[in-house]
Amino acid sequence: MKTRKQLTYSLLIMLGAIVLINVISTNFFKRFDNTQNKDYTMSRATKSILRNLNEPVTITAYFTKDLPPQYSKVRKDFQNILSEYSTISKGMVRYQFIDPSTPELQQEAAQNGVYPVMINVRAKDKVEQQRAYIGTVIKAGTGSEAIPIIQSEAAIEYSLTTAIKKLTIVEKPYIGIVQGHGEANLQMLRSAIEEISYLYNIEPVNILDAENLIKYRTLVINAPSSEYLPEEIAKLEEYLSLGGKLFMNLEHCVAETQSTMQITANNTGLEAWLANYGVIIEDNVAIDKSCGQVGVQQQQGPFSMTIPMAFPYMPIISNFSDHAIAEKLQAVLLMYPASIQFTGTEMEFKPLLLTSNSSGTQVLPAFINLQKKWANSDYPLSGITLGGVLTGSFNNGPSTSIVVVADGDYMLQQGQQRVNPDNINLFANSIDWLSDDTGLIDLRSKGLSYRPIDDIEDSRKAFLKWLNFLLPIAIIVCYGLVNMQIRRSKRIKRMEENYVK
């Protein structure tokens, strides 16, 4: 039997061990991530940006105390990620948490761009609304960036890292948006431009008028409708031969949906130029069983109703190559895309966007029939290429790349309608990869998941359903059996003659 002195020593050793563990854990933050997409693992881009900070970054988190459990978890997760940022940056990232419980602190939060939000709180079997702060502000030098609402940790890393990058970047590269051939202007591309403007200077550019085209790290050609002149194409070739990069969205299929319901081919001269290097944009329109929906007006008795209908000309692309641009994409929504074939031998072409296993093509001109009953026989093909990357040398210059997508309007802003997030991610990832500047490609889509249940096989659906139903029961039964065996063993021991309690 232990003496009182021995018990005291054991207690002191245990307390010392606890203190030591806390000291170590404060300075060395480590956790294990078992999620499929590694949502809680810090990306290489974040680590690189944090390790190369040249000035301190201060993060002030405004969080109300005594929040409901779901928001308390957000606060704890955010505190964990800030601790990791501080550790990786070797103290260059400093943070503090403030409860804006006084008018002075609430005014300070508002001046920094963080305002209270209304959250639901369950109390005494009813749901009430509470005014709470769950935002943060990042400061570096004389600049500041606010994140008004902190969401999940997987989503916050991108916002936090890009805010730090924006505040600490020294010189932004230039990106040119080509104009003069009916291309989409900056206003039509505002959602896409907003996504990259914190890291790049965006300017409209006319190819023939530009004195120094190579000042642009990447040129963007989006949905031209008129033909490029031979001298403009020659200037593009010269730009590429000097190491410039191109991002091209070509609206080869043009749909008239008001009267003729016809899809025709649009040739701008860029199609023929790409064909010289083996990239053939074919005179067809791709269709896919995995597609978006459109609203169709139908008469139901005296009423006119809008009925949502599957529209195969609007494929949902969830089949991507292993290229860095497409690594984290989940679902890109295209409209009237053409298929692409590569026949070249001197350059390399890597497909990016591919249709599903149930897809097909229609030769142009094609006619849209909203009353058509689509059958499986309409989708005899699979893995049709709708976008890719051409890499090689132009006129014996350095190796360069062109990203080409055979659709031009998938990232255009239509009024106040929100553009599909992965459409913007495709553009932003492409600019980052082409411009080779930020390394933030793998962060943009982090935390986004597109897993429609209709795409899961029936056998897997059944397995998951029965697993969810039977697993808790099995755990309880196993616990009961183990507990019963332990109690039985104890009872048998107590019945032995030499048993001593």
CATH class label, 174-451: alpha beta
CATH class label, 26-168: alpha beta
Residue 5 pLDDT = 65
User: Percentage of residues in the chain with pLDDT exceeding 90?
Assistant: 53
Q: Of 104-118, 169-183, 251-265, 481-495, where does mean pLDDT reach its minimum? A: 481-495
Residue 319 pLDDT = 95
pTM exceeding 0.75: no
Backbone angles phi, psi at 246, to 5 degrees: -125, 140
Residue 404 pLDDT = 98
- pLDDT per residue over 391-444, tens digit each? 999 999 999 999 999 999 899 987 667 789 999 999 999 999 998 655 566 565
DSSP annotation of 194 reads H
Residue 220 pLDDT = 97
Q: Residue ranges per domain, the chain? A: 26-168, 174-451, 458-485
Highest averaged pLDDT of the listed ranges 180-184, 478-482, 495-499? 180-184
Higher pLDDT, 359 or 474: 359
- pLDDT per residue over 22-72, tens digit each? 655 555 555 554 445 555 567 777 888 898 898 999 999 999 988 888 888
CA–CA gap between residue 116 and residue 149 (Å, rounded)? 9
DSSP 410-467: TT---TTPPPPHHHHHHHHHHHHHHHT----HHHHTTT-----GGGS-HHHHHHHHHH
Residue 1 pLDDT = 47
Average pLDDT, the chain: 85
Higher pLDDT, 485 or 277: 277
Q: Of 127-136, 206-215, 274-283, 468-477, where does mean pLDDT reach its minimum? A: 468-477
Backbone angles phi, psi at 59, to 5 degrees: -120, 120
The pLDDT confidence band at residue 255, using thresholds 50, 70 and 90, is very high
Residue 118 pLDDT = 86
CA–CA gap between residue 26 and residue 18 (Å, rounded)? 12
Q: Which of 264, 228, 256, 274 is nearest to 403 (CA)?
A: 274
Handedness of CA 355, 325, 407, 386 (dihedral sign): negative
User: Is the per-residue pLDDT at 453 higher than 80?
Assistant: no
User: Is the per-residue pLDDT at 227 higher than 50?
Assistant: yes
CA–CA gap between residue 63 and residue 74 (Å, rounded)? 10
* Spatial contact of 119 and 132, defined as CB atoms under 8 Å apart: yes
- List helix spans (H) across 151-221: 153-168, 190-196
Q: Of 14-18, 128-132, 363-367, 406-410, where does mean pLDDT reach its minimum? A: 14-18
Residue 6 pLDDT = 62
Residue 146 pLDDT = 92
Residue 385 pLDDT = 98
- pLDDT per residue over 146-159, tens digit each? 999 887 655 688 78
